[in-house]
Amino acid sequence: MSPNVPAISPPAAARIRVLVVDDSAVVRNMLCRELAKDPAIEVVGTAPDPYLARDKIVELNPDVLTLDVEMPRMDGLTFLRRLMEHHPMPVIVISSLTAQGTRTAVEALEAGAVDVLGKPGSAYSVESLSVDLIQKVKLAFRAHLATWAPLPVRPAAVRPSTSLANTTDKVLAIGASTGGVQALTRVLTELPADAPGTVIVQHMPARFTRSFAERLDSLCRVRVKEARDGESVVTGQVLIAPGGFHMLLRRSGARYYVQIKDGPEVFHQKPSVEVLFQSTAQVAGRNAIGAILTGMGGDGAKGLLLMRQAGARTVAQDEATSVVFGMPQEAIKCGAAQHVVGLPDMARTLLDLARQLDRDVTPAALVATR
């Protein structure tokens, strides 16, 4: 979730105004120092807790908020939910890389945060944070928050075990970035327990993808898990690429499985949607459905085009419901997307296409773009 955002150098009066909220004075000072390195950004204030943050928001009207989720008096998650209900604004969550910290950060993304960033430590240097933080602030500033709405939380239905499930004969391949946590939660919670085997790349830092998969698994009728190398793609199960690794679809006879591998970033991402889509085009062809959801940049557009050329059905999320329209827009522009669909209709569309893979009939209910 850290796309390569072009440099912006507006005049001082037009700089992106940031409020930093963290209970640690050391962290506040560090974030302010790193943000000050970019002339397009101005830190207009800081706050050690949500109560003071509320007053600073009213007083300073910042463009973007950085928010620690582990604070005294009121936790950041509660504050975020109240903020998004009464005064929606772009928020970047700053979280520790502990198990609890990553789980809370994922819930914050569901609650409306634009992006998440790990605090510096043994696995995340200040230098890396500086680059990512500046990029994420610029991206958050561009986010289309009019698309945000609270997600209904429904208990998952009782699900059959996947231990004896059949290898899927159709594959759903989905890619997403900024805004993808909300979008994927919406789509996956609407899939039935016998949905086609699904593989997903969501741009997300290492350690956060496992918490994201566990959170989805608690909400969905399909089973959701972070993918392991060599794991079969089976009906009723969703595999999410682990942060920091690429995921490819492979086939052995009638069995689809995933390969998890290291390697250079592709489109500045690891995992990359492009890598997943290209491999899906090669091994699944017309037995696949590809969908590209909200996100910045062009990751996945060429791969989705290859999927379409290989006979797969392809879908892009529409602009009106995308937090960031970059990835879907690039797919549409290059002719990769057969259909452009709003988020409320995405799950139904994917299921309709899965049922019609063996027929050359375009569903009348779909909005065809080409």
Cβ neighbours of residue 360 closer than 8 Å, sequence gap 6 or more? none
In the residue annotation, 203 being an active-site residue is answered as: yes
The CA–CA distances, whole Å, from 264 to 261, 271, 275, 327 equal: 10, 10, 11, 20
Candidates 217, 299, 318, 345; catalytic one: 299
Given 3-state DSSP classes, what are the helix, strand and coil percentages for the chain, each rounded to the nearest 5? 35, 20, 40
Return d(Cα 362, Cα 111) in angstroms, integer.
Answer: 35
Return d(Cα 307, Cα 277) in angstroms, integer.
Answer: 7
Report the SS3 class of residue 121. strand
Candidates 68, 96, 132, 203; catalytic one: 203
Candidates 95, 177, 211, 322; catalytic one: 177
Return d(Cα 131, Cα 117) in angstroms, integer.
Answer: 11
Return d(Cα 360, Cα 76) in angstroms, integer.
Answer: 50
In the residue annotation, 299 being an active-site residue is answered as: yes
Cβ neighbours of residue 277 closer than 8 Å, sequence gap 6 or more? 173, 175, 290, 300, 302, 303, 304, 306, 307
Cβ neighbours of residue 44 closer than 8 Å, sequence gap 6 or more? 17, 18, 19, 60, 62
Long-range contacts of 263-270 (CB under 8 A, 24+ apart): 266/299, 267/297, 267/298, 267/299, 267/300, 268/2, 268/3, 268/4, 268/297, 268/299, 269/2, 269/3, 269/177, 269/203, 269/297, 269/299, 270/244, 270/245, 270/246
- Smallest CA-to-CA distance from 82 within 150, 167, 173 is with 150
In the residue annotation, 115 being an active-site residue is answered as: no
What residues act catalytically?
177, 203, 299
